[in-house]
Amino acid sequence: MGERGDEAVTPAGRLFLQAEMKQVIHCVIGLKNPIDAELVKSQVRNSTMLQHPRFTSLMVRGEGGVEHWRPTEIDIDRHVLIIEEAVGEREEEDESAINKYLAELSIDSDGLSMEKPLWEIHLLKAHKCVIFRIHHALGDGISLMSMLLASCRKLNNPNALPTIAASASTSASKTNLINFRNLLATLWFCFIFALEFILRCLWIRDPKSALTGGAGVELWPRKIATATFSLEDMKTVKTAANATINDVLFAVISSGISRYLDFRAPNGLRDGVQLTGLAMVNLRKHPGLQELSNMMRSNSGARWGNKFGMILLPIYYHRTNTSDPLEYLKRAKAMIDRKKRSLEASFSYKIGDFVMSTLGPKVHFFFLIFTLLRQNKCYLILFVNCSLLAF
């Protein structure tokens, strides 16, 4: 803390605050009942969110351009924006209209104003929809979803906080790691995936395909489309294949990309060619959503902030007219199981933290841009469930 109560921004936060990044998280919540704007403002004013210093601080740059958080007074009316009229075309369905609204927000040249704390809540009253806009410098998916959960209450007990299911015991897995054979396999996967991560960043490229962006791709119009999957159906497949929800979801993504490539460019790629997916992994000692009180403690293993690494998730194109859909799940499960046994996410986090701490956020940002250009702008950014991929 500085003399005026300033707090230094973390290395990851400094990266997300770069003007070229403008990394803003959008969270959309649909409601059953009409929105009472004044009630929402009252609840926000008294919420746990405004007890957290990140949500009540301005980002300021001190001497040498170093970023700091500085406490300030909150004007709720500047953060809770009320949209009375329907957005989009009159005949348009709510989902399509909201998607267009989000696309417009995503290309907003101003982003979130630095003259106030870096968050907003948009109330789309005609659509019974709430949109949270939160700058990524304030925290990652685990932090923000835990914050949202702490602001909710149980339906059958309005005074009680929602409970978080305890994580499954990991004692069996720890015992297995003592096995020498498993230890050798873990070391081998660590070496292979760390080497692949470096090679993919610096030399190896994905093949050009219908997914590859062209020159000036960052200036192209943007569109957001959503797809709905039955969680019960995914659980059924998960149980039958002895897999996880993440395995099933990644198999759906792999199958969908193969179908899209077949539609856009039949026979454009050879069967089995690899495309590169990039997923974010929660690196806290305790996986899953956390009690907010635990995250607020400085000595907690589930601390607040941006605590995630990245892993490469290879997606293999297969012609859909000759592929069994369950084969995508088998390949996804086998690959993700190997990734879980490696330290690739921790390796990428340490590399990024080292670059940020020694060379600064601008060098780190341009390294990321260079990496994407090396891949012909063909990285697939995979956000696997709202709370990040928890291994």
Q: What is the mean pLDDT of the chain?
A: 77
When mean pLDDT is compared across 73-82, 214-223, 284-293, the lowest value belongs to 284-293
Torsions phi, psi for 382 (to 5 deg)? -110, 110
Give yes or no for a contact between 278 and 380, defined as CB atoms under 8 angstroms apart. Answer: yes
The structural domains of the chain, with segments of one domain joined by +, span 7-138, 182-382
Give yes or no for a contact between 314 and 276, defined as CB atoms under 8 angstroms apart. Answer: yes
Q: Is the pLDDT of residue 150 over 50?
A: yes
Q: Is the pLDDT of residue 390 over 60?
A: no
Q: Is the pLDDT of residue 156 over 70?
A: yes
**286 is known as an active-site residue:** no
Q: Under 8 Å CB-to-CB from 296, ≥6 apart: which residues? A: 52, 304
Measured CA to CA, the distance from residue 281 to residue 359 in angstroms comes to 24
Confidence band (pLDDT; 50, 70, 90) for 170? very low
Give yes or no for a contact between 59 and 69, defined as CB atoms under 8 angstroms apart. Answer: yes
Question: In the Cβ-directed half-sphere of 166, how many Cα atoms lie within 13 Å?
Answer: 3
pLDDT at 376 (0 to 100): 46
Confidence band (pLDDT; 50, 70, 90) for 388? very low
Supply the angle between the helices 180-202 and 361-374 in degrees, to the nearest 10. 90
Question: Greater confidence, 90 or 206?
Answer: 206
For residue 183, CA distances in Å to 37, 43, 285, 338 come to 56, 51, 20, 13
pLDDT at 301 (0 to 100): 47
pLDDT at 338 (0 to 100): 86
Query: Of 136, 286, 318, 364, which residue is the catalytic one?
Result: 136
pLDDT at 386 (0 to 100): 34
pLDDT at 291 (0 to 100): 56
Q: Under 8 Å CB-to-CB from 356, ≥6 apart: which residues? A: 11, 12, 14, 15, 364
Confidence band (pLDDT; 50, 70, 90) for 366? low
DSSP SS3 for 103: helix
Distance between alpha carbon 380 and the CA centroid of its chain, in Å? 13
Question: Greater confidence, 158 or 5?
Answer: 158
Q: CA end-to-end span of the chain, whole Å?
A: 34
pLDDT at 120 (0 to 100): 93
Q: Is the pLDDT of residue 130 over 90?
A: yes
pLDDT at 131 (0 to 100): 93
Max Cα–Cα distance, the chain, nearest Å = 67
Instruction: Look up residue 69 and give its amino acid.
Output: W
Listed ranges 43-57, 302-316, 344-358; the one with the highest mean pLDDT: 43-57
Confidence band (pLDDT; 50, 70, 90) for 176? very low
Instruction: Kindly report the CATH number that applies to the domain delimited by 7-138.
Output: 3.30.559.10
Q: What is the pLDDT of residues 250-297, one digit of tens each?
A: 898 888 888 888 888 887 788 888 888 878 777 776 555 555 555 555
Question: Greater confidence, 368 or 285?
Answer: 285
Instruction: Look up residue 242 and give its amino acid.
Output: N
Give yes or no for a contact between 27 and 146, defined as CB atoms under 8 angstroms apart. Answer: no
Question: In the Cβ-directed half-sphere of 298, how many Cα atoms lie within 13 Å?
Answer: 0
Q: Is the pLDDT of residue 331 over 70?
A: yes
Q: Is the pLDDT of residue 389 over 70?
A: no
pLDDT at 236 (0 to 100): 92
Q: Under 8 Å CB-to-CB from 210, ≥6 apart: which residues? A: 260, 261, 264, 265, 268
Question: Greater confidence, 334 or 108?
Answer: 334
Q: Do the bridges between strand 119-124 and strand 57-61 make them parallel or antiparallel, or are there none, so unpaired?
A: unpaired
What pairs with residue 86 in β-bridges? Answer: none
Q: Is the pLDDT of residue 177 over 60?
A: no
pLDDT at 297 (0 to 100): 54
pLDDT at 290 (0 to 100): 53
Listed ranges 56-60, 190-194, 277-281, 381-385; the one with the highest mean pLDDT: 56-60
Provide the percentage of residues in the chain whose pLDDT is more than 70: 76
Q: Taking residues 179-187, report their average pLDDT.
A: 78
When mean pLDDT is compared across 25-39, 182-196, 231-245, 276-290, the lowest value belongs to 276-290
Q: Taking residues 312-328, report their average pLDDT.
A: 80
